[in-house]
């Protein structure tokens, strides 16, 4: 994927805007060479510097900080935004609960469908033969689920067709499927597939939702915060979110990570203060959905190389989130070898050594050896961890932004 360079206008416009500070004319004849006059001149000069500094700080606060969240699809970008809404949004996640009810239902049906397909492909038998009828019911979901959209709502993009959805039809379909879902998830055959197929392209929250099927299937079900954080939503548009963090306004943009959507990223590259790049460590043993011949984490490395070395981001703070460490740990524990997918890694197949390896691989992508990349190993659905990380990221972004502006 080739990211087209865009001419930067935001920074130059900001620099060319005249200051609101009124500067007195300093004529050479105004002061003599006496020590007293020199002190007066320095006092005036210092006062002007302080005024200019205060003016810059005020403009910075008014304009806020522009932050992009970039990365391939299914790396956790939208989950980070949901955490920010929960931690800093005026209404948290309340206004989204009804929408996420149908998304959770669709997530559950998609998860059991993926497991059912994998069971057939692996030619593994069900523990209880009477569940065969349920398996056939779930297998028929494929064509039906494609009619429904699980996407976020953002700025209109004419390149993306609008899908027609029917919330009632989805709810009715889910209700009909509940007995089959419960029976299959309890079957040892499906459990074997779930535990042994680490390369299975299944949403990370599958177990979380399938274990809670009785609660989710209740007629009065309302998604909890954790449900919304775990729910999988595909971003097919650019969404802008505004959050006040530590008295600074952040304008955060989330963009779709699919290859077909990356050509729409460029217009948002201008005048960016910081970038959070998301990579899912757990994808080290998975193929790309739209390119089965390409490893997902290899794709992350390629994309990070393009972003980190883009000419518009030479002075932009770069923050790397190596995400989904919980799933990554689970895969390592199950025996999935990093060396099978990254042959240049020959160390122990443990969390400590493999994470150092992957961090080093990402940092190697920066051609500018002086460029600072701040790395965090993240579990984006863990609110407590994300609260600490957001505070750290905010401190980094503000400090680097002040330095870039000449205030430090």
Q: What is the pLDDT of residues 52-78, one digit of tens each?
A: 465 445 545 556 788 889 888 889 888
Q: Is residue 16 part of a domain?
A: no
Q: What is the pLDDT of residue 11?
A: 39
Determine the Cα–Cα distance for residues 239 and 254; give it in Å rounded to an integer: 5
Q: Is residue 46 part of a domain?
A: no
Residues 143 and 269 in one domain: no
Residues 361 and 378 in one domain: yes
What is the 3-state secondary structure of 82-150?
HHHHHHHCCCCCHHHHHHHHHHHHHHHHHHHHHHHHHHHHHCCCCCCHHHHHHHHHHHCHHHHHCCCCC
Active site residue 74: yes
Instruction: List, in sequence order, every residue forming a beta bridge with 376; answer none if it has no partner.
Output: 321
Is 229 within any annotated ligand binding site?
A: yes
Q: Is residue 299 part of a domain?
A: yes
Expressed as residue numbers, the domain containing 103 is 94-230
Q: What is the pLDDT of residues 254-263, one digit of tens each?
A: 776 566 555 5
Identify the active-site residue in 170, 254, 285, 299. Answer: 254
Q: What is the pLDDT of residues 152-211, one digit of tens each?
A: 433 333 333 334 345 667 778 888 899 999 999 999 999 999 988 776 778 889 999 999
142 has a pLDDT exceeding 50 = yes
Is 271 within any annotated ligand binding site?
A: no
Report the CATH number that the domain containing residue 198 is assigned in CATH: 1.10.400.10
Active site residue 79: yes
Q: Terminus-to-terminus CA distance in the chain, angstroms?
A: 37
Burial class for 290, CB neighbours closer than 10 Å (0-12, 13-18, 19+): exposed
Report the CATH number that the domain containing residue 79 is assigned in CATH: 3.40.50.300
Please state which of the ranges 6-15, 227-236, 311-320 shows the lowest mean pLDDT.
Answer: 6-15
> Exposed e or buried b for every residue in 117-147, given b needs 16+ CB within 10 A?
bbbeeeebebeeeebeebbebbeebeeeeee
Residues 309 and 373 in one domain: yes
Q: Is residue 124 part of a domain?
A: yes
The count of structural domains within the chain is 2
Residues 71 and 133 in one domain: no
Q: Is residue 41 part of a domain?
A: no
Is 299 within any annotated ligand binding site?
A: no
Identify the active-site residue in 232, 286, 316, 354. Answer: 232
Q: What is the pLDDT of residue 403?
A: 66
300 has a pLDDT exceeding 80 = yes
Identify the active-site residue in 165, 196, 258, 404. Answer: 258
Is 257 within any annotated ligand binding site?
A: yes
Residues 394 and 271 in one domain: yes
Please state which of the ranges 28-37, 157-166, 360-369, 387-396 shows the lowest mean pLDDT.
Answer: 157-166
Identify the active-site residue in 79, 137, 354, 381. Answer: 79
Q: What is the pLDDT of residue 209?
A: 96
- Look at residues 162, 196, 230 and tell me which one is the last residue of a structural domain: 230
Determine the Cα–Cα distance for residues 374 and 403; give it in Å rounded to an integer: 16
Mean pLDDT of 300-317: 88
9 has a pLDDT exceeding 50 = no
Residues 168 and 299 in one domain: no
Mean pLDDT of the chain: 78
Is 258 within any annotated ligand binding site?
A: yes
Q: What is the pLDDT of residues 375-400, one digit of tens each?
A: 999 999 999 999 999 888 888 888 77
Q: Is residue 288 part of a domain?
A: yes
Active site residue 232: yes
- Look at residues 230, 248, 283 and tell me which one is the last residue of a structural domain: 230
Residues 259 and 395 in one domain: yes
Q: Is residue 125 part of a domain?
A: yes
Residues 194 and 118 in one domain: yes
Residues 224 and 248 in one domain: no
- What is the β-pairing status of strands 248-254 and 274-280? unpaired
Q: Is residue 88 part of a domain?
A: yes
Determine the Cα–Cα distance for residues 93 and 105; give it in Å rounded to an integer: 18
- Look at residues 197, 230, 263 and tell me which one is the last residue of a structural domain: 230
Is 406 within any annotated ligand binding site?
A: no
Mean pLDDT of 123-129: 89
Tokens of 40: 């007066």
Residues 242 and 390 in one domain: yes
Is 222 within any annotated ligand binding site?
A: no
Is 256 within any annotated ligand binding site?
A: yes
Determine the Cα–Cα distance for residues 218 and 314; give it in Å rounded to an integer: 52
Determine the Cα–Cα distance for residues 316 and 308; give it in Å rounded to an integer: 9
In percent, the amount of the chain with pLDDT more than 90 equals: 37
Element (H, E) at 176: helix 167-185
Active site residue 30: no
Residues 76 and 189 in one domain: no
Residues 326 and 209 in one domain: no
Q: What is the pLDDT of residue 141?
A: 76
């Amino acid at each position: 994927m080739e990211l087209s360079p865009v001419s930067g206008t935001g920074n130059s416009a900001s620099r060319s805007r005249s200051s609101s500070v009124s500067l007195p004319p300093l004529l050479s004849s105004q002061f003599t060479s006496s020590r007293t006059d020199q002190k007066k001149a320095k006092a005036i000069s210092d006062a002007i510097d302080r005024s200019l500094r205060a003016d810059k700080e005020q403009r910075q606060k008014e304009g806020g900080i522009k932050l992009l969240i970039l990365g391939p699809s299914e790396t956790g970008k939208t989950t980070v935004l949901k955490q920010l809404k929960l931690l800093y949004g005026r209404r948290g996640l309340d206004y989204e609960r009804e929408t996420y009810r149908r998304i959770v239902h669709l997530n559950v049906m998609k998860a059991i469908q993926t497991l059912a397909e994998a069971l057939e492909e692996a030619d593994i038998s069900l523990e209880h033969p009477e569940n065969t009828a349920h398996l056939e019911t779930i297998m028929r979901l494929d064509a039906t689920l494609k009619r429904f959209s699980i996407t976020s709502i953002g700025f209109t993009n004419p390149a993306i067709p609008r899908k027609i959805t029917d919330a009632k039809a989805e709810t009715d379909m889910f209700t009909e499927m509940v007995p089959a879902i419960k029976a299959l998830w309890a079957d040892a055959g499906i459990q074997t597939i779930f535990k042994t197929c680490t390369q299975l392209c299944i949403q990370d929250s599958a177990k979380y939702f399938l274990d809670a099927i009785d609660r989710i299937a209740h007629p009065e079900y309302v998604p909890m915060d954790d449900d919304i954080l775990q729910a999988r939503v595909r971003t097919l548009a650019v969404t802008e979110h505004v959050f006040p963090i530590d008295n600074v306004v952040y304008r955060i943009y989330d963009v779709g990570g699919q290859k077909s959507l990356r050509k729409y990223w460029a217009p948002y590259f201008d005048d960016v203060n910081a970038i959070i790049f998301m990579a899912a460590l757990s994808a080290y043993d998975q193929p790309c959905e739209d390119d089965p011949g390409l490893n997902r984490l290899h794709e992350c490395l390629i994309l990070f190389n393009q972003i980190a070395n883009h000419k518009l981001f030479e002075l932009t703070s770069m923050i790397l989130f190596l995400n989904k460490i919980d799933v990554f740990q689970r895969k390592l524990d199950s025996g999935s070898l990093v060396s099978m997918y990254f042959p240049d890694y020959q160390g122990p197949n443990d969390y400590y050594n493999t994470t150092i390896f992957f961090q080093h691989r990402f940092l190697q992508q920066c051609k500018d050896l002086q460029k600072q990349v701040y790395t965090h190993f993240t579990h984006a659905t863990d609110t407590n961890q994300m609260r600490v990380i957001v505070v750290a990221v905010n401190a980094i972004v503000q400090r680097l932004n002040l330095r870039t502006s000449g205030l430090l």
